[in-house]
Structure formats: C-alpha cells, structure tokens
Structure 1
Amino acid sequence: MTILHRIRIRGFMKKNVFRMPTPIKITGRTSSITNAFVNGIIPVVEPTEAEIDDALATLGMTRESICCAYCGDTCTEWDHFRPLIVDKGPTGYISEIHNLVPACGKCNQSKGNKEWKKWMYSDASLSPKTRGITDINERCRKLEVYERKYAPTKLDFVEIVGEELWEKHWNNHEKLLELMKTCQETSDEIKERITMSLRNE
C-alpha cells in the first residue's frame, strides 16, 4: 500500500473528526499584499494621554472600564472606526485617535472595512446583531456622539505626493502581483513533482 493510499484511508475513516488544513497558495495572499501597500503609506499619529482619556470618556468609558465599543466584550485592540482601505485603495483616513475606538477581536475581524452602523445591525458573522448584543442601540448612540464630536483627518494622498510618485507605488504593486503569479506556477510545479514521488513509492 502506498503512502497516498494510507492517507486516503485514514482520512476516510476519520472524516467526521478530521479535516486537512486548507492548502496555501502564494496568489492567495494578494489581498494581504494590497493591504500592506496601503497600510505602508498611512501616517500614524500617536495620541496624548489626555486625548485617550477624552476619547474613552466620550464613549462612556474609563481606563478601568474600557471594553469593546461595539459589543461590550473585553477590549483587545483599537479598531479604525472609518476604514483605511475600500475597494483595494486608500480612503484618505489615517491612524489617529479620532479614527479609532476600542474593540474586541471578533468585532474587528467581522467589521473589516464595512461602514460601522450598517455592520452593527447586519447579519454578518460575529456582528453585534448576530451575536445578540442586547444594548446595541445604546452602543450605537454613543458611537454616533463619538462620530459627531471628532472630525478625523482625511487626506488627498495623490495631491500631496504627486501623480508620478503615486503611480510608481502602484506600479510596484502590480509588478509584485505579477511576480506572485510566476512564483505560484513554480510552486505548483514543485508540488506536483513531490506528489508524483509519493505516488511512485
């Protein structure tokens, strides 16, 4: 019996409790590359201690009572209230306290680059509505106050850096994606040869 036969039998016998990890593809990382090309140019403005306290107070929190602004769970990170990336391009917003709110990993993951209020009341996986958060209306009210109080910085990146440099950056992006396709072809060939060697055992 070959190694592949043993693998198939083993997988069949344990099909209810076992699932192979999803194969990794180089070209499957294109969205991560695009995000890196956008996030890599986004300015980061560190807040003062007073600005942090003021942001928390606007949301009805203190450093001791800080929690996810969207659902109330334990805060593990700060989420970009208005997305930095939409349709694979920068929105013009930056990383600053007036565009950040405390969040939990579930909400941050689920929200992604969606508009915050539509997402909160949506049927998206792990959204506050889907998870049955009971005080969702009150949380939305506080976030509306937060949104009205702080006007986040929004920049025209192209105007600031000039079209030539901007095009250079995104041409580099396209070249990298094309190189990833070539790398994927090489990777597929290597994988096929390794798989064939297993079949011949």
Structure 2
Amino acid sequence: MNALKAFQMPKQVNISARSSSITNSFVNGIIPYIYPTEMEVKEALGILELDADDLRCAYCGDKSTEWDHLRSIVKNKKPTGYISDIYNLVPACGKCNQSKGNKLWNEWIVSEAVLSPKIRMVDDLEGRIKCLTKYEKWGNVKPIDFESIVDADIWKEHWNNCEKLHEDMRKAQELAFAIKQKIKKNLEY
C-alpha cells in the first residue's frame, strides 16, 4: 500500500461546525423528559416486536446502543414540539440514529441516505416499517406548542441567547482562521 494513502491527518476542527450541537442543547434544555414505567417499556417493545433481553435497533435489527427520537425534536433550528418520552423513543443503533438525523423516519428508512436500512439491505424491512407505523400511532402523540405555553418575552430571550452564541461562534471561527493563517505563514522547515 502507498504510504501516503495509509497516512491520515486528524480532522481539522471548525468552531462554527458545532452549531447544530448548540441548537440541540437549547432545545433539549427546554423539553421535558418523561420517564416511562416498566409496563410502558414492555408495551413499547411488544409493539416493536423487540426483546428487552436482547435489545435491537427498531430500524435495522442491529444491537441497540441508544434510544432515538422517532419524531425529531429539532427541525430548522427550532423545537418541533415533540418531547423525550416513551411514545417518541425507539431503540436504535448508532448507524441508524446518525443517518436518520432529523428526517422523517418513514421517508428515511427507504431512502438512499448513507447507512439507511434500505441502502444496507436490511432483512424484513417491510415488517420493521409495519411495526414502526403501529408504534407511531401508539399514544396518539401530538406536538406541543411550547411558545404558547411560556411568556413570549422569555421565549424570545431564550432563542436570542441561542443566536448570540451562534454569532459568537462564527466570529471565533473567523479569528481562529486568521490566527491559523499567520502561524502557517511563519512556519519554518
């Protein structure tokens, strides 16, 4: 193998590339987490036809490593109105959770997205879709209009804080780039 091909530089860090993490934090910071009862978890797993003793990804069947929001909690940098509760969470593997992102599960699962179950040619995809469709109807989940619940000034202040942080990150990235260029220019080999 060519030595240059085997060599991998570390990924360069971009400060402003973390903006989605900041937005997600601002959304997660306000949405409630409703912890399920043991009975609710058993019912959820039953609908998904999954075994608690060998928990698998609801989307592809690989070993589950986390719980994914079936309905995204963030879209277009704002909360969707869905929360973290058993009616909106399904066991998932990291590949599916990352690939799905904030897409609609029923569009993503049969899409050409990198690592989607369709692309990975997952067995019994139609059966999984059937279980997920049944699960989605379970609990009759509707989005909550958070903004109508809280004082408008507090709501606006929260999102202004988020935008200020994004702007500070953009400025920090510009400054970091300028510093990097000066350092690079002065390197002596």
Rg larger for: 1
Q: Superposed, which structure 2 residues align to 1:69-80 within 5 Å?
A: 69-80=58-69
What stretches of structure 2 of length at least 5 have no aligned partner? Answer: none
Q: Superposed, which structure 2 residues align to 1:1-201 within 5 Å?
A: 14-199=3-188
**Deviation for aligned residue 1:57:** 1.0
Q: CA RMSD in A?
A: 1.6
**Deviation for aligned residue 1:107:** 0.6
**Deviation for aligned residue 1:179:** 1.4
Q: Report runs of 4+ in structure 1 exceeding 3 Å deviation.
A: none
Q: Secondary structure at the match of 1:107?
A: helix
Q: Distance in 2 between matches of 1:149 and 1:184?
A: 45
What stretches of structure 1 of length at least 5 have no aligned partner? Answer: 1-12
Q: Percent identity?
A: 50
Say whether the 8 Å CA contact 1:81–1:116 is kept in structure 2: yes
Per-residue Cα deviation, 1:32-84 (whole angstroms, up to 9, x for no partner): 21121112111111111111111111111231242111111101111101000
Q: How many residues get paired?
A: 188
Q: Distance in 1 between matches of 2:140 and 2:29?
A: 23
Say whether the 8 Å CA contact 1:94–1:153 is kept in structure 2: no
After superposing the two structures, state which structure 1 stretch, 31-40 or 188-197, moved more. 188-197
Q: Secondary structure at the match of 2:4?
A: coil
Per-residue Cα deviation, 1:164-194 (whole angstroms, up to 9, x for no partner): 1111011111211221222223322332332
